[in-house]
């Protein structure tokens, strides 16, 4: 076998493994909630004085809504800690503008290794102010960011699902600041 074929086959297996893992995660986290009950706008995480939500409730409510360029809005609906030491932040990128828009390439950040793999949300970070630590998006063994990549042009009024995976802060840290280049920052709650 040629080196080129072996490299392509390995990349294909990594992509297939990541896609299968995401499919299982999405199927396991699917909520039967009504999307019409979500708050219309929020500058940061909601401060609910009720009981603490369980792990499955994170998909039913809006954690934060961040406004970006060209009418794009990032709606975060889940920041789930898992037993493997990761936090997966997920939601949707919506185009509230009047014309089709593309997510800025600046959301990939400025790290050379991430930029090599095309457009992504690789510039996202979680900031734990209490511990004075910043958590960057994880990467696979080939340096690809574990985020949504190669996002299409989003038509006016449409949205696409997005995710980002980070190393988990200490278990006693439940509140972090989410940052993504070209978008406003917001405080979110980590569940799980």
For residue range 15-54, list pLDDT tens digits in order.
555 555 555 555 555 444 444 443 343 444 433 433 343 4
pLDDT > 70? residue 9: no
**Contact predicate 154/100, CB 8 Å:** yes
Nearest to 80 by CA among 61, 54, 55: 55
Beta bridge partners of 1: none
Residue 56 pLDDT more than 70?
Answer: no
pLDDT of residue 83: 86
Q: How high is the pLDDT of residue 109? A: 87
Please report the DSSP string for 104-132 in residue order. Answer: -GGGG-S-HHHHTT-SBSTT-EEEETTTT
Chain mean pLDDT for the chain: 79
Instruction: Report d(CA 158, CA 107) in Å as an integer.
Output: 19
Residue 58 confidence (pLDDT) above 70:
no
Three-point CA angle 42, 44, 45, nearest 5°: 100
| Residue-wise pLDDT tens digits, 79-137 | 999 988 999 999 999 999 999 999 999 998 888 888 888 889 999 999 999 889 999 99
């Amino acid at each position: 076998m040629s080196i080129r074929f072996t490299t392509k086959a390995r990349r294909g297996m990594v992509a297939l493994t990541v896609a299968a893992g995401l499919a299982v995660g999405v199927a396991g986290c699917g909520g039967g909630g009504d999307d019409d009950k979500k708050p219309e706008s929020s500058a940061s995480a909601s401060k609910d004085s009720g009981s603490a939500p369980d792990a499955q409730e994170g998909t039913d409510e809006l954690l934060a809504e961040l406004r970006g360029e060209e009418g794009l809005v990032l709606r975060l609906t889940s920041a789930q800690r898992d037993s493997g030491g990761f936090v997966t932040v997920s939601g949707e990128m919506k185009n509230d503008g009047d014309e089709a828009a593309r997510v800025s390439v600046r959301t990939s950040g400025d790290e050379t290794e991430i930029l090599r793999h095309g457009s992504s949300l690789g510039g996202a970070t979680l900031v734990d102010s209490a511990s004075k630590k910043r958590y960057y998006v994880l990467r696979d063994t080939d340096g690809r960011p574990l985020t949504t990549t190669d996002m299409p042009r989003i038509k006016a009024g449409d949205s696409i699902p997005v995710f980002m995976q980070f190393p988990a802060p200490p278990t006693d840290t439940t509140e972090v600041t989410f940052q993504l280049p070209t978008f406003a920052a917001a405080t979110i709650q980590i569940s799980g």
